[in-house]
Amino acid sequence: MAILNRFTTAYWKNLQGDPRKKQLFILRALHKSAASEASGISAAGEEAMPDKLITPQDVGEKTRIMTLKEMPGPSSIGNLIEFIWRDGFSRIHEIQMEHRKKYGKIFKSRFGPQLVVSVADRDLVAEVLRAEGVAPQRANMESWKEYRDMIGSSTGLISAEGEDWLKMRSVLRQLIMRPRDVAVFSDGVNEVVDDLIKRVCILRAQEPDGATVPNVNDLFFKYSMEGVAAILYESRLGCLENEIPQETQDYIGALHLMFSSFKTTMYAGAIPKWLRPVIPKPWEEFCLSWDGLFRFSRLHVDKRLGEIKGQLERGEDVKGGLLTHLLITKEMTMEEIYANLTEMLLAGVDTTSFTLSWASYLMARHPHVQQQIFEEVSSTLGPGAVATADDVTHLPLVRGLVKETLRLFPVLPGNGRITQDDLVVGGYFIPKGTQLALCHYSTSFDEENFADASDFRPNRWIRKDSTDRVDNFGSIPFGYGIRSCIGKRVAELEMHLALTRLIQRFRICMSPLTADVKAKTHGLLCPAAPIHLQFIDREN
């Protein structure tokens, strides 16, 4: 009766005899009824959908929508063993693949009280992302928000939700989301690339073979930080100098603390507040690293603000980029500016540097592919020319190199969402408020999406003609839609310009010190061992 009371005859008729729509309607009604009647049971929990109420006879066996209870997945205890005893946190990408094989395209896992539904299929991922509303919700950002409330700051794009997020996103998306918005940063980024090349020469000269750059990620980390700060803060930080300024070193320390203590910062969010006096370290470290990141951002934002005030007082024209625009237009409050620049810098450094490290490593491992890319660059640009953003549109293999690298090593192997509406995905009813994990790593290796998926083939991304569709939801390293990466174009510009110049100038080879380097998850997907590469001058 509880179900029937929820029916409206008109709506039911409107379903036009579509059995799946009708089932969804029944399930929603059941869900609401169960949630309100079963006190103490989470509305988003699998128990909130008692499947005994739905029989195949109710809805027809063939098209029956299933409940979360029926969804396969590892047991809670199995998960606990995997993650706590078998160091699953560093193998999240591998576990994704194993679970996909074992449980199929969609499966559920429990992490303590938290139920997570993993979606590991290109078309289902597309379904979920295409169904998103105007302000999709990211999962597990409570600890970030708590820190910001504690210091009286604002959330930034990564940690904000709802109206707050929408407002900031609509300001920022107009500034850096289109290729032509970031093309204006070409010259600035190319100056940073000049310093990168000089640094390669300095570093290799310090090695006995005169060719090896040890741990290239260290170099690319500094390049990425310098590059993204040149765009965001409109100032140079000196990361690629011999003597790195103290404030920049402090920032790097805070950033390393954030990622090197990844598990602790994860636990900072996972450990309930009442346990903090007993286990204080994770939360303390989490706050300490944020203190450092925010301090650095305030310093650079305030510096630029001081310069602008000085220019205005002297009656000079104020020209500048992203930060200048934000400071002048006042479309955001100062706290929102601090928070957004902090979060964007954090989001923009390791992501880009890991991708550059993997791209160089893959080219060193596949010299014939490197040669093809070199030939494309030389024939398109001519000798000695410095590429700009416009030139990159004529370098499909360089763009393919970045896409293929991100397919094989997606920096974010998975992405989280909280569903904002009831959904049916893969034949299962997913109630509003459920945490979803979109398994980008496993879809990237799915043979249905990419033939010979383990092979490194940048040319698979080259369109044969205008009807050729090479993009697909199997590999969406920057996400998709309204909540996708806002720094995608910035990251691409930095990576395209750096890789083009490195390929023009050097033959990148494996160092005898580097064997097969595997990936591990450490928050992001990163090299499990240092990558040492040789940079050998190409003959003119």
Q: Which amino acid is at 108?
A: K
- Site for ligand HEM contains 351 (CB under 6 A): yes
What mask, x for binding ligand HEM by CB under 6 A, covers residues 35 to 74?
Answer: ----------------------------------------
Beta strands in 211-323 (DSSP E): 212-213
Q: Which of 64, 91, 99, 169 binds ligand HEM (CB under 6 A)?
A: 169
With contacts defined by CB under 6 A, name the span among 310-318, 319-327, 344-352, 377-385 that binds ligand HEM: 344-352
Is 486 a binder of ligand HEM (CB under 6 A)? Answer: yes
Q: List the one residue out of 414, 380, 399 whose CA is nearest residue 471.
A: 399
In order of 204, 447, 495, the CA distances from 201 in angstroms are 5, 41, 19
Q: What distance separates the 2 farthest-apart alpha carbons in the chain? A: 83
**Interstrand relation of 506-510 and 423-425 (parallel, antiparallel or unpaired):** unpaired
| Interacting residues with ligand HEM between 210 and 229 (CB under 6 A) | 228
Contact stretch for ligand HEM (CB under 6 A) within 20-28, 108-116, 296-304, 477-485: 477-485
Least Å distance, CB 127 to ligand HEM, is: 15
> What's phi and psi for 511, nearest 5 deg?
-85, 145
Which residue in the set 35, 120, 258, 485 belongs to the binding site for ligand HEM (CB under 6 A)? 485
CB of 482 to ligand HEM, least distance (A): 8
Cα dihedral across residues 355, 356, 362, 365: positive or negative: negative
Which listed residue (292, 321, 426, 487) binds ligand HEM by CB under 6 A? 487
Q: Structure tokens of 264?
A: 């602790």
Q: What type of residue is 321?
A: G
Per CB under 6 A, 477 contacts ligand HEM: yes
Q: Among 139-147, 192-200, 346-354, 456-464, which window interacts with ligand HEM (CB under 6 A)?
A: 346-354
Q: What are phi and psi of 75, to 5 degrees?
A: -75, 160
Residue 464 three-state SS: coil
CB 390 within 8 A of CB 436: no
Q: Which of 192, 271, 344, 398 binds ligand HEM (CB under 6 A)?
A: 344
Binding ligand HEM (rule: CB under 6 A), the pick from 109, 352, 370, 514 is: 352
Selection from 139, 134, 104 nearest residue 119 by Cα: 104
498 binds ligand HEM (CB under 6 A): no
Q: Does residue 137 touch ligand HEM according to CB under 6 A?
A: no
Q: Is 201 labeled as ligand-binding?
A: no
Cα separation, 72 vs 118, whole angstroms: 11
Q: Which helix (H) or strand (E) holds 537?
A: strand 533-537
Q: How many residues bind ligand HEM, per CB under 6 A?
A: 26
Q: Which residues pair with 416 in a beta bridge?
A: 437
Please report, in range form, the residues annotated as the binding site. Answer: 485
Residues lying near ligand HEM in the complex (CB under 6 A) are found at 138, 157-158, 169, 228, 343-344, 347-348, 351-352, 355, 406, 411-412, 415, 477-479, 483-487, 490-491
Please report, in range form, the residues annotated as the binding site for heme. Answer: 485
